[in-house]
Chains A and B, each alone.
Chain A
Amino acid sequence: MNRSRVTNILLIAAAILLALFPLAESTFYTQLLTKVMIMAIFAMSLDLLVGYTGLVSFGHAAYFGLAGYALALMVPKYEVASLWWTLPAAMGACLLFALVTGMLVLRTRGIFFIMVTLAFAQMLFFIFHDTKFGGGSDGIYIYVKPELKVGGFEVASLERLDHFYWLVLLLMAAVFLLLRRVLGSTFGRALVGIKMNEHRMRALGFPVFRYQLASFALSGALAGMAGYLAAVQYGFVNPEILSWHQSGAVLMMVILGGMGTLYGPVIGAFAFVLLQEVMSNQSWFGASARHWQLAMGIFVILVALYLPQGLAGLLQKVGRKPEIAEAADE
C-alpha cells in the first residue's frame, strides 16, 4: 500500500468516527467538537495562504469576523432566514473584502505583509468596536438560527446540536476536498511555484499577482464560511471575533498541525482547542486555570522553537520507516 492510500483510509476512518460521535449524546462534547471543526475550516483556509502560497497573513480573523457580522446584520431580528442565501452572501462579502484588501496588501512582501494584514484586520476591529451600527463593543445577538430547507422540506434544523454538528462536518469535508482539488490543479501547482520562487514564475509568464489575489480571495471566502458557522453556533457576534488573538490562534493551529499539508491544520485545530479546554479546566487546575493563557503562551513559544514542522511533521517522521521498507521491496 502506498502512502497516499494509507492517508486516504485514515482520513475516511476519521470522518466516519466523527460522523458517529453525536450518537453518543454528550451535549458538551458535541458542541466542543463542532467548535473544533469550525476552527479546522478556518485553519485550512489560512493554510492555503501560509502553507501553499507563501503569504503569512496575521489578519485572517478579519474575514472570519466579517462573515459573522454579515449574518447578524443581514437577518431580520425575529425572523427566520434561509441558509441558502445568507451563507453565500456572507462568504461573498468576505470575497469582496479580500479582493479589495488583497489588491493593497499584495503590493508588499515578508514582514511588511504580516504587518499590513494585521493593520487591516485591526481597522475592521475598530470600525465594529467604535461605531454603533454593529452594536459597538457589545456586538449583536442572532436570535433565530438560519433554516435549511429543500423545496419546503426541512433537511436539518440548526437549532438541534447534532444536526448542526453534521452540517459542520459535511462542510469541513467539502472544504478539504475542494482545497485538495484546487491544490492539485495547475493553479495550485503554480501557487506552490510562486511560493518557492516568485521571480522565476513571473519569468515563465505566470500572472503571479492575479494568482496570489485569487488565492487570497478564496482563502478569505472560506474563512468567511467558518466565521458564519461560528456566529450561528454562538448566537451572537462581538468585536472579539475580529481581534488579533483570533488571527494569532488560527496561525498557531496551522503551524502546530503542520502547514503545507491540508490535514495538518485540522489536526492543529483539534489539538489547539482541546488543549485550551484542558488548560482552562477549573476542576483540574483550580484557581490557576484562570491564568491558562500563561501556559498557552509558553506552549506557543516552545512550538515555535522546537516544532517547526508541526504535528504533521512528527507523524511523517514516524511514518517514514515503512516507506523505506516499501521502496526496498519494489
Chain B
Amino acid sequence: MDFAFILIQLLNGLQYGLLLFLVASGLTLIFGIMGIINLAHGSFYMVGAYLAWSLSSMTGSLTTAILLGIPLTVILGMGLERLLFRHLYQRDHLYQVLLTYGLILVFEELRSVIWGDDVHGVAVPALLGYSIPLTENLSYPVYRLAISGVCLLLAAGLYFLIQKTRLGMMIRAGASNREMVQSLGIDIKLIYTLVFALGIALAAFAGMINAPLSSVFPNMGSQVLIICFVVVVIGGIGSVKGAMAASLMIGLAETFGQVLVPEVAGMIVYVLMAIVLVWRPEGLFKRA
C-alpha cells in the first residue's frame, strides 16, 4: 500500500461522505425543523438519478438534465408537502412512517411503470471526463473531484442560508416555536413548504450528480436512505453540523473498510452507530 493508493481511497471516502451529506442534510432538516420522519427521502434520490438519466439521454447533456431536473424536483417537493405532508405535522410519528412507507411503494412502482426495471449508465460530462495521473498505473477521475467541490460549495451555501440570512433565522425560529413565529406575522406554512422542497431538491441533486458513478437502478433509494438514517443518528437529530461530521466519518469508514476488511465492510457503519448509541444516545451534536 503506497501513498497514491491511500490518497485515492481518502479522496473516494471524502467524496462519498460529502454526497451522503447532501442527502442526510435534507433528511435532518426535515426532521429537525418540521418534526417529520421521511422514509421516502431515498426515493427522491432515486427520482433524481432517473431524471438525470432520462433527461440527459433526451438532451444529450448531463448539465442540461440537472438544470432541468432541479426545478422539477422542487415542484414535486412543494406539491407533496401541500398535498400530503401538511396533514401530518400534528400527528404521531407512526402515521408519518406509514404515509412515507406508502410513498416509497408508489414511487418504486411509478418508476417501474415510467422507466422500467433495467440498469442504466449515465455518461460523465465531456468537460470533466478526464483523469489526473498519480503514478504510472493509478489515476484519479476529475469528475469525482468536481462532485466533492460542488458538495462543499452547497454545504457552505446551506450553512450561510441557515446561520446568516433572514430566511434562515425564520427557519431556526420556526423549529423551536411554530406558534410564536406565526403570531409574529411570519408565514410559517410557506417556510415549511420551502424547507421541505429544499430537502427534497438536495436529495434529488445528489442522485443526479452521482448517477454517472453509481449508475441508475431500481431500489437505489433504500440503500442510501438507511445509511442516511445512520448518519442522522450519529450526528444528532436536526444538526446540520452533525450530519456533516457523521457523513464524512461514515464515508471514510466504509471506503477504507471495503479495502481493508471487505468481509465485514457492510457492518462497520452499524457497529459505529451502536458505539455512538452507547456513548451518546442523542448523537454527537445534540441540538440545543
Stretch at the interface among B92-100, B128-136, B187-195: B92-100
Contact across chains for B277 and A108 when beta carbons are under 8 A apart: yes
B182 to nearest A CB, angstroms? 23
Of the residues B109, B233, B237, contact of A297 by C-beta under 8 Å: B109
In Å, the complex CA distance between A305 and B163 comes to: 35
Quick one: which of B99, B101, B267 contacts A305, CB cutoff 8 A?
B99
Chain A residues with Cβ below 8 Å from B103 are 297, 301
User: What separation, in Å, do the CA atoms of A304 and B39 have in the docked complex?
Assistant: 14
Q: Which residues of A contact B233 (CB under 8 A)?
A: 108, 112, 115-116, 119
Question: By the criterion CB–CB under 8 Å, are B106 and A297 in contact?
Answer: yes
Q: Does any Cβ of A come within 8 Å of B230's Cβ?
A: yes
Report the nearest B residue to A124, measured CB to CB: B270
Q: A104-B277, A108-B277, A123-B267 are in contact. Are A301 and B232 (CB under 8 A)?
A: no
| Chain A residues whose C-beta falls within 8 Å of the C-beta of B84 in the assembled complex | 301, 305
A254 to B: closest C-beta gap in Å: 9
* Closest chain B CB from A194 CB (angstroms): 16
Instruction: Say yes or no: A114 contacts B37, CB within 8 Å.
Output: yes
Contact with A along B265-278 (1 / 0, CB 8 A): 01100100110011
* Known interface pairs A297-B103, A301-B103; A56-B270 also in contact (CB < 8 Å): no
- With a cutoff of 8 Å between Cβ atoms, the chain B residues found around residue A127 in the complex are 266-267
Residue A291 interfacial (CB < 8 Å): yes
- B-contact bits for A118-149, CB 8 A (1 contact / 0 none): 11101100110111000000000000000000
Residue among A104, A114, A297, A299 having the largest count of chain B Cβ atoms under 10 Å: A297
- Cβ B102 vs Cβ A308 within 8 A: no
Contacts of B2 in A (CB 8 A): none
Task: Mark B7-31 against chain A: 1 for CB-CB distance below 8 A, else 0.
Answer: 0000000000000000000000001
Q: Are A130 and B229 in contact (CB under 8 A)?
A: no
Does A298 lie within 8 Å of B106, measured CB to CB?
yes
Tell me if B150 counts as interface (CB < 8 A to partner A). Answer: no
Cα(A119)–Cα(B97), bound, Å: 14
Number of A-B contacts (CB under 8 A): 119
In the bound complex, residues from chain B placing their C-beta under 8 Å from that of A107 are: 277-278, 281
Interface status of A82 (Cβ within 8 A of chain B): no
Chain A 93-110 per-residue mask, 1 if CB under 8 angstroms from chain B, else 0: 000000000001101101
B277 adjacent to A116 (CB under 8 Å): yes
Instruction: Render B135-153 as a binary contact track against A, CB cut-off 8 A, 1 for contact.
Output: 0000000000000000000
Per the 8 Å Cβ criterion, residues 105-124 of B in contact with A are 105-110, 112-113
Q: Is A300 an interface residue (CB 8 A)?
A: yes
Q: Does B226 contact A (CB under 8 A)?
A: yes
If A104-B278, A291-B109, A303-B98 touch, whether A297 touches B104 (CB-CB below 8 Å) is yes
In the assembly, what is the distance between CA of A105 and CA of B105, in Å?
A: 27
Task: Verify if B164 is at the interface (C-beta below 8 Å from A).
Answer: no
Nearest CB of chain B from residue A43's CB, rounded to whole Å: 14
Residues from chain B with a CB closer than 8 A to the CB of A296 are 102, 105
A56 and B97: CB pair below 8 A? yes
- Give CA–CA (A293, B109) in the complex, Å: 6
Identify the interface centre among A107, A129, A304: most chain B CB within 10 Å of its CB.
Answer: A304
Partner of B93, one of A110, A129, A298, A305: A110
Quick check: B105 and A255 within 8 Å, CB to CB? Answer: no
Q: How far is the CA of A244 from the CA of B109 in the complex (A)?
A: 16
Is chain A's binding surface mostly helix, strand, loop or mixed? helix
A251, B37: Cα distance in complex, Å? 15
Contact mask B51-93 → A, CB, 8 Å, 1/0? 0000000000000000000000000000000001001100101
CA distance A293 to B88 in the complex (A): 23
A130 surroundings in chain B (CB, below 8 A):
266
Query: Given A107-B278, A115-B229, A119-B226, A294–B105 Cβ distance below 8 Å?
Result: yes
**A-facing mask of B251-288, CB < 8 A → 1, else 0?**
00000000000010011001001100110011000000
Q: How far is the CB of B242 from chain A (nearest CB, A)?
A: 13
A178 to nearest B CB, angstroms? 24
Q: Residue among A50, A112, A298 with the most chain B CB within 10 A?
A: A112
Which residues of B have CB within 8 Å of A1?
Answer: none
Q: Does B215 contact A (CB under 8 A)?
A: no
The 0/1 profile, CB within 8 Å of B marked 1, for residues 299-330 of chain A is: 11101110010000000000000000000000
Contact, CB under 8 Å: B94 / A56: yes
Check: A91 CB closer than 8 A to any chain B CB: no
**A14 contacts partner chain B, Cβ-Cβ < 8 Å:** no
Q: Which residue of B lies closest to A259 (CB)?
A: B94
B105 close to A56 (CB less than 8 A): no
Given A131-B263, A255-B94, A297-B109, also A119-B101 (CB < 8 A): no
Neighbouring A residues of B95 by C-beta, 8 Å: 255, 304-305, 308
B226 touches A118 (CB 8 A): yes
B113 touching A291, Cβ below 8 Å: yes
Write the residues of chain A forming the contact surface with B, with a CB cutoff of 8 angstroms. Answer: 50, 56, 58, 104-105, 107-108, 110-112, 114-116, 118-120, 122-123, 126-127, 129-131, 244, 248, 251-252, 255, 259, 291, 293-294, 296-301, 303-305, 308
- 10 A-B pairs closest in CB distance: A297-B105, A300-B102, A297-B106, A294-B109, A301-B102, A304-B99, A123-B270, A107-B281, A304-B98, A126-B266
